[in-house]
Structure 1
Amino acid sequence: MGTFDESLRVATQAAVAAGERAVAVSSPNPPVGAAVLDAAGNLVATGATEPVGGRHAEAVALDAAGGAARGGTLVVTLEPCAHTGRTGPCTQRILDAGVARVVYGVTDPNPVAAGGAEVLRDRGVDVRQDEVTLGVLANSEALRAWMHRQESGRPLVTWKYAASLDGFVAASDGTSQWITGEAAREHAHRQRELADAIIVGSGTLAADDPTLSARFPDGAPRPRSPLACVMGMTNVPADAAIRTSPGGFRHLRTRDPHEALAMLPDALHVIVEGGPTVAGAFLAAGLVDHIDAYLAPILLGGGRGIAEGADVGTLAAAHRFAVEYNEYLGEDVWIRLAPPRTGEPEYTWSMEPPGREPLDAAPLPDES
């Protein structure tokens, strides 16, 4: 198999990939991935956190490995838990499997579940938080939303909009379908599939009658859709399409973004799709953690702007964000932004995830 470091890197990449498959599936539990190396350093099993009430990633991987785990190494993206919740403690499952070494990426910030590393060390297991694991994790967003909820007590909020280059989401006559092309819309639906909930306002509901489901370009449903939410005091009609969303429906009867998020206690990641009034409310409240901007190479010259009610009055008070990464999607551009970093956190996230080229390195659209 080669050196142990080579085996560890392979196992880490497998564990991270497994965790990414659990995003939005495991909520409100963290989307953790795990991988097992046998005593000879061969990758023998992987696992990801199952839906609520199911097994944690460590148990899934160890069950798949069977006796091959004895004397081997367990690589897991989050420190194994040491408490009994809906399932037993992962630490006991690891001890029962006879694992000799545990390598983990992120320390569990939840005081109820934390301490697994110490429990295992006390029982003679070689436990370490590994830089290789952290390095690979830096290119994964699997745990980002869960970590955000642990630290802030609320879901991570992404404001998503599609706009013209001059910043309008609809023309003066109200038409907006479609500002961006098929590639951008497909990308946005993939992002929907990875969210726990999606919020629009009463105005968008009345104008578009959306289902807010995650769909393929041909209209077929994706494997999962987020909880579809309408924020506002206006009653939702009994025949509104949103009530048929495959991810479920919830009326957030409030105009306060803080109250709206409190009505989603199990959500880790929420997408705000607007319209401009709802988007402006979240922006003014300081509740926008990410912006997913889909920009089309068109100019409208007027119409409805991307946000209303978040005017700062002066440039010095502008809502400032930093570009994390970007990508050409057909003729459109997707830009992911986040608030500027104010310090060096213990765990930093990649500015350019694998497979995404910086904007200045991307090829220009074919104009022939």
Structure 2
Amino acid sequence: MASIETGVRAPSEADAMRHALVLARRGPVSGPNPRVGCVLLGADGEVLGEGWHRGAGTAHAEVAALADAAARGASTVGATAVVTLEPCTHTGRTGPCSEALIAAGVGRVVVSVPDPNPVAAGGAERLREAGVDVETGLLGDEGRALLGAWLPAVERGRPFVTLKLATSLDGRIAAADGSSRWITSEVSRHHAHDLRAEVDAIVVGTGTALVDDPSLTARNAAGELHGTQPLRVVVGLRDLPSDARLHGPGGELVHVRTHDPAEVLSLLAEREVRHVLVEGGPTLAAAFLRAGLVDEVHAYVAPVLLGSGSSAVADLGVTSIGDAVRLTTRSVLPLGPDVLVVATVDPSRAPHSSTEEH
């Protein structure tokens, strides 16, 4: 996004925004709310207060910064608030930040990213109505990157979907006899657990749940559960046995009795899920791809050749190379002997078809 279009910006505002982005990263990477940071500047560019959002139900970054300024004994009348996301106008678990800034006498607000959430947006307009000078777009690219999956999830009105694959070099997830542990290395598996810790929900089909009996937990290198666990979502009509590992320690288990990926995402959106990790198996992966509901693919690829066995993705209905699902590679990361390829899907090139059973 372009830099601020109008007005005179003091050099300290860009520095303050960079610091606000650093502050925002202290907030939780998962959850219904975005990571936001705020720095309050005085007339001479001095920092009056700073804050960040610590998660749902806690003070928003702007309110936290105002509280910090009050604790320092600093007046915020005429101050400049530098904030990574447009102040909200919504009253939810907490009050609207735009009103808090107005009440504090803030004279200028500099924003990195406008809020796309129709429920919370409108803060910039409300501030201008109150006579506050507002400018947007400062370090916009950095601001959008910080928001991660939250931003496209809110823009699209559904959870952001990452499809995770762990395959041999020839695209197999298991050998002909069904054995699959372990195709990828321990380094890749640790990295995959870090990815799980960043999402709100992990989704598998009933086939994977019954055959592999996964726990779908996020663990650290020592094998210990992370403090916050994603929802464990099983898609399909078949029942799970009472002794399944999914009933054990970990996130809440949600069984969605449908074969429709859109219905799954709609239910999860109602639960304020922003980021979904689809882990298996090949039929479920194909169903999400065919429905055009995969935004990003994380492919862990091991230098192993099997020649036969289960493929990572079931039939997509592609009969010609021209109909192939084309992705754009965003990064390639070596992980021990393996590599992780992160690629995004162009929605206009995703196949669309009726849902499959899994």
> TM-score normalised to the size of structure 1?
0.84
| Secondary structure, counterpart of 1:147 in structure 2 | helix
Moved more, 147-156 or 196-205: 147-156
Segment of structure 1 superposing worse, 190-199 or 177-186: 177-186
Q: Is the 8 Å Cα contact of residues 12 and 136 (structure 1) preserved in structure 2? A: no
> CA separation in 2, counterparts of 1:283 and 1:153?
18
Cα distance in 1 between the residues matched to 2:256 and 2:290: 19
Is 1:95 aligned to 2:102, yes or no?
yes
Residue in structure 2 matched with residue 115 of structure 1 by the alignment? 122
C-alpha distance in 1, partners of 2:137/2:113?
9
Cross-structure match for 1:287: 293
Q: Is the 8 A contact 2:106 2:132 kept in 1?
A: yes
Tell me the equivalent position of 2:237: 233
Q: Which amino acid aligns with 2:19?
A: A
**What is aligned with 2:221?**
217
Q: Which residue of 1 aligns with 2:64?
A: 60
Distance 1:246 1:48, change over 3 A: farther
Q: What amino acid does structure 2 have at the position aligned with 1:15? A: A
Paired residue secondary structure (1:206): helix
Q: Quick check: 1:296–1:333 contact (8 Å CA) kept in 2?
A: yes
- Native 8 Å contact 2:283 2:313 kept in 1: yes
Gaps of 5+ in 2: 1-8, 349-358
In the aligned structure 2, how far is the partner of 1:163 from the partner of 1:222? 25
- Choose from 141, 147, 153 the match for 2:151: 147
Report what 2:4 is aligned to.
Answer: none
- After TM superposition, list the pairs within 5 Å mapping 1:163-202 onto structure 2: 163-202=167-206
Corresponding position of 1:35? 39
Q: Distance in 1 between matches of 2:347 and 2:209?
A: 35
Superposition CA RMSD, Å = 2.2
User: Are 2:40 and 2:49, in contact at CA under 8 Å, matched by a contact in 1?
Assistant: yes
Shift of 1:69: 5.9
Q: Specify the alignment match of 1:11 in structure 2.
A: 16
AA in 1 matched with 2:288? F
Amino acid at match of 1:148: P
- Equivalent-residue separation in structure 2 for 1:245 and 1:36 (angstroms): 43
The amino acid of 1:85's aligned partner reads G
Tell me which amino acid in the other structure corresponds to 1:185: R
Check conservation: 1:169, 1:303, Cα contact below 8 A: yes
CA distance in 2, matches of 1:277, 1:216: 29
- One-letter amino acid matched to 1:93: A
Looking at structure 1, the residues matched to 137 and 238 of structure 2 have their Cα atoms a distance apart, in angstroms, of: 52
Which residue of 2 is the match for residue 105 of structure 1?
112
Are the equivalent residues in 2 in contact too, given 1:7–1:43 (CA < 8 A)?
Answer: no
User: What is the identity, as a one-letter code, of the residue corresponding to 2:196?
Assistant: R
Give 2:24's aligned amino acid: G
Aligned letter for 1:87? T
Distance 1:220 1:177 in 2: 20
Which residue identity does 2:18 align to in structure 1?
Answer: Q
> 1:75: which partner in 2?
82
SS in 1 for 2:25: helix
| Code of the aligned partner of 2:13 | L
In 1, Cα distance between the equivalents of 2:235 and 2:61? 35
Does the 8 Å contact 2:28/2:54 carry over to 1? no
Q: Is the 8 A contact 1:37 1:69 kept in 2?
A: no
Q: Deviations over 1:272-330 (max 9, x none)?
A: 00111111111111111000111111111111111113231111111111111221122
Deviation larger for 231-240 or 82-91: 82-91
Letter in 1 for 2:239: N
Report the residue type matching 2:322 in the other structure: A
Structure 1 residues 96 and 250, CA gap change in structure 2 (3 angstroms): same
Unaligned runs of 5+ in 1: 343-368
Return closer, same or farther for 1:6/1:335 CA change in 2, 3 Å cut-off: farther
CA distance in 1, matches of 2:192, 2:10: 37
> Aligned pair in 2 of structure 1 residues 219, 316: CA closer, same or farther (>3 Å)?
same
Q: Secondary structure at the match of 1:169?
A: coil
Q: 1:277 and 1:236 mapped to 2: Cα distance?
A: 18
Structure 1: how far apart are the matches of 2:347 and 2:79? 39
> What is the CA-CA distance between 1:6 and the residue it aligns to?
4.8
More displaced stretch, 4-13 vs 215-224: 4-13
Would the alpha carbon gap of residues 29 and 313 (structure 1) be closer, same or farther in structure 2, given more than 3 Å must change?
same
Matched, 1:315 2:324: no
Aligned pairs for 1:123-134 (under 5 A) are 123-131=130-138, 133-134=139-140
Decide which moves more: 267-276 or 92-101: 92-101
Q: Is residue 210–residue 240 contact of structure 2 (8 Å, CA) maintained in 1?
A: no
1:84 & 1:301 partners in 2: Cα distance?
57
Segment of structure 1 superposing worse, 219-228 or 282-291: 219-228
C-alpha distance in structure 2 between counterparts of 1:244 and 1:113, whole Å? 37
Residues 86-106 of structure 1, C-alpha deviation per residue, up to 9 Å, x if partnerless?
321111111223323211111
SS in 1 for 2:149: helix
Q: Aligned equivalents of 1:137 and 1:127: distance in 2? A: 17
Q: What is the deviation of 1:153?
A: 1.7
Distance 1:20 1:310, change over 3 A: farther
Secondary structure of the equivalent of 1:312? coil
